[in-house]
Each structure stands twice: as C-alpha cells, then as structure tokens.
C-alpha cells in the first residue's frame, strides 16, 4: 500500500490523513527528517506559509524536504502548501522558503482576507463525475503559469471580482497543487487523483511532462521569475 507522509508542522493534518486513508493509502505524519524514510509521496497541507517556512527551518526538515522533492517524490500541496511548492510568491516575506517544484507564480491571500473566503463547484480534469465542491480560505491566486504546467481546473466566474478563470488546480510532473482545501469535504477524488500519480500505488507515476525527475533541477526561468516577495 502506498505510504504518504503529511507535513505535520501546522495545518489540516488530521483531515488529510482521513482523506488519504479513505482513498486507500497509509498516511504518516512528518515532523522531523527521519520521518521521511519509507515515504512514497508527500502532502503539504494548508496553514500559514510564513509560519510553515519558519518551522521547516527549526525542525531541520527544510533541506531533506527540498531534496526529496528535487529527487522527484510525488507531492501534493493545498493552499499554503501550494505556495511552498511554487517558484515565486508575491506578498510574501523576503525570506519565505519556496521549493520551486512547480512553475507557478502565486499571490498570497490574493482572493482577499478571511471574510472573503468562499466555496464553489469546480470541474477538475482527471476527476470524473460531479463537480468538486471546493473550499477556499485566504487562498493564493495563481498569477503566472509556466509552459510545463497543466491547468486542471479554473475558477468559474463569480465569487471574487477579477478572478474568473484563475487556475486553481495545477500539475507539473509529480507535483499537484490546489488553491483550495479538498481535505475539508468528504469527497476524496482529488486525493485519489494524487495517488494515481504515485508509482508505488500502481498509478501512472511521473510519466507526464515535468522536470522533477531524479537528478533534475527544479523548474526555473521558464516564464516565472524565481523570486519571493515584492
Ligand atoms: N493565506 C495563507 C498563506 O498565505 C494560506 C491559507 C491556507 O492555507 N488556508 O500561507
């Protein structure tokens, strides 16, 4: 059975564990470098990207996590996890850690503050059946997408002026990100989509386009400046 580590420094760890278990994986918490051993894939939950960035440094996980992701480990980032995986982040502290695993430029809290959090139904490529009900909480807006990134879902018109059509689910090779929180509903289809990207699960693995193969460099300079903060 595929074994998925959930970065457990902050955020929706229990909810991701429930969703991964329901989707057929074994979920384990990752709090220190040794917890990465034996893990086939990783989930980076939402939370506060600034705080997670600092906790990555103090836990000693920053280096080993970056190494695992650079080595092609499948990784799924939700909301703040999406920010951590991006190549560039606006409205972030200058010392914000970014893993540069997916060629996106994001703007933190781009849909507004807590009071502007919203829910909507989304069509997601690769997820069959009914639309996915998506919960957005101080979510990042994707402001630029590099050429190697597949956009699997875009926001329909509606909740936040000026953001209709914004990418909200993206994939590049073994990296999947959502701007929303799929772990907050009972629907585990997005987690299943992620598990289908994990070779150990018998899924398609890293067959898709994407630079994050063993020994490859993280994406850089392909249309998205790799800088944090403005
Ligand atoms: N606004 C948060 C950040 O910038 C993300 C919020 C979330 O993960 N729900 O890190």
Work out which ligand 1 atom sits closest to the CA atom of 137. 9
Residue 200's pLDDT band (boundaries 50, 70, 90)?
confident
Distances (CA, A) of 130 to 26, 44, 121, 171: 26, 26, 9, 21
91 C-beta closer than 6 A to ligand 1: no
Is 48 touching ligand 1 by the criterion CB < 6 Å?
yes
41 vs 2: CA distance, rounded Å: 8
Predicted confidence band of residue 179 (pLDDT cuts 50, 70, 90): very high
Q: Which of 154, 122, 139, 121 lies closest to 46 in space, CA to CA?
A: 139
Per-residue pLDDT reduced to its tens digit, 209-221: 444 433 334 444 3
Vertex 127, ends 24 and 192: CA angle to 5°?
15
Q: For residue 160, what pLDDT is reported?
A: 77
Residue 196's Cβ-side half-sphere holds a number of Cα atoms within 13 Å equal to 10
Mutate to test the pocket of ligand 1, among 108, 111, 115, 179 (most ligand atoms within 8 A of CB): 108
**CB atoms < 10 A from the CB of 218, how many?**
19
Query: What are 121-136's pLDDT values in tens digits?
Result: 999 999 999 999 999 9
Q: Which domains does the chain show, CATH number per domain? A: 3-201 (3.40.50.880)
Average predicted confidence (pLDDT) for the chain: 89
For the chain, what percent of residues have pLDDT higher than 90?
79
Higher pLDDT pick, 220 / 193: 193
Instruction: Give the residue-averaged pLDDT of 13-18.
Output: 97
Give the pLDDT score at 218.
Answer: 42
Q: Is 46 touching ligand 1 by the criterion CB < 6 Å?
A: yes
pLDDT in tens, 46-82: 999 999 999 999 999 999 999 999 999 999 999 999 9
User: Looking at the predicted structure, is the pLDDT value of residue 206 above 50?
Assistant: no
Task: Please indicate whether residue 37 is annotated as part of the active site.
Answer: no
Bridge-based pairing of strands 3-7 and 26-30 is parallel
Region 2-12 average pLDDT = 95
- How high is the pLDDT of residue 22? 98
Question: In terms of pLDDT, which residue wins out, 198 or 211?
Answer: 198
Q: Quote the pLDDT of residue 192.
A: 98
Asked if the model's pLDDT at residue 5 lies above 80, the reply is: yes
Ligand 1 geometric centre to CA of 34 (Å):
26
């Amino acid at each position: 059975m595929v074994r998925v580590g959930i970065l457990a420094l902050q955020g929706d760890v229990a909810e991701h564990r429930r969703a991964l278990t329901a989707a057929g994986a074994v979920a384990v918490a990752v709090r220190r470098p040794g917890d990465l051993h034996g893990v086939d894939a990783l989930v980076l939950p939402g939370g506060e990207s600034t705080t997670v960035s600092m906790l990555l440094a103090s836990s000693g996980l920053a280096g080993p996590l970056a190494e695992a992701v650079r080595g092609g480990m499948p990784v799924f980032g939700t909301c703040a996890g999406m920010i951590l995986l991006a190549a560039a982040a606006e409205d972030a502290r200058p010392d914000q850690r970014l893993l540069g695993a997916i060629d996106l430029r994001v703007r933190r809290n781009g849909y507004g503050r807590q009071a502007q959090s919203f829910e909507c139904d989304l069509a997601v490529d690769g997820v069959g059946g009914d639309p996915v009900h998506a919960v957005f909480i101080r979510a990042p807006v994707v402001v630029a997408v590099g050429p190697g990134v597949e956009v699997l879902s875009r926001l329909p018109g509606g909740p936040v002026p000026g953001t209709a059509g914004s990418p909200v689910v993206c994939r590049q090779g073994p990296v999947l990100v959502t701007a929303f929180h799929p772990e907050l509903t009972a629907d585990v289809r997005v987690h299943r989509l992620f598990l289908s990207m994990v070779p150990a699960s018998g899924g398609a693995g890293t067959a898709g386009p994407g630079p994050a193969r063993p020994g490859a460099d993280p994406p850089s300079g392909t249309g998205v400046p790799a800088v944090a903060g403005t």
